Amino acid sequence: MRGLEPAQLSRTTVEPSNLTLLGLVRHMAEVEQWWFRRSFAGEAIGDVFTGPSDGNEGLDGVRAADAERDFGLFQTELKACDAAAAGHDLAKTFTSSRGVSLSLRWIYVLMIQKYTRHNCHAHFLRERTDGATGDCASFSDRSGSRYPPPLRED
């Protein structure tokens, strides 16, 4: 989301949805906290923004004036979540709020799914905001290909 002003980050671009780029950042802070700190680590803490209890998990209440603060809270939450999971085996289990036994590995798979989904949303929102279409163009500078170089097996 480099190169965007706070007003652009908080603008809705796909009507009638109220989804914004900044709302996605706030949402992921809430999701990270919910799964890693509250569910896995059992921390009794308040919401980062509006929280899961309102059903919107950070998506509402977005204000351009809060963009820098919201990004800072997201970064702080990521560090706290990393610390909550550090040193634990992926097979370590916990009981969810619905009484289901889940593992740390399950959380990581869920987070991969969530980030994949929301990065796709962000791609479309960004394109509607300023026409930028993602990182593919950055790969064409040397090889002429619009696709990333193949992964190497070392």
Residue 143 confidence class, pLDDT cut points 50, 70, 90: very low
Which of 106, 101, 74, 77 is CA-nearest to residue 90?
106
> Is the pLDDT assigned to residue 20 strictly greater than 50?
yes
Segment 39-75, tens digit of pLDDT:
999 999 988 887 555 567 788 888 899 999 999 999 9
Phi, psi of 95 (to 5 degrees): -105, 125
**pLDDT tens digit string along 83-125?**
999 999 999 999 999 999 999 999 999 999 999 998 888 888 8
Which residues in 40-56 are b (16+ Cβ under 10 Å) and which e?
bbeeeeebbbbbeeeeb
Q: How far apart are CA 73 and CA 68, in angstroms?
A: 9
In which band, very low, low, confident or very high, does the pLDDT at 7 lie, cut at 50, 70 and 90?
confident
Residues ≥6 apart with Cβ < 8 Å to 60: 18, 23, 50, 54
What pLDDT score was predicted for residue 46? 87
What pLDDT shows up at residue 129?
83
Q: What gap in Å lies between CA 34 and CA 56, rounded to an integer?
A: 13
What was the pLDDT predicted at 31?
A: 93
pTM exceeds cut of 0.85: no
Helix, coil or strand: residue 94: strand
65 within 8 A of 6, measured Cβ to Cβ? yes
Higher-pLDDT residue of 30, 1: 30
pLDDT at residue 134, rounded to an integer: 60
Residue 137 has pLDDT above 60, yes or no: no
pLDDT, position 142: 45
Please, which pLDDT band fits residue 139 given cuts at 50, 70 and 90?
very low
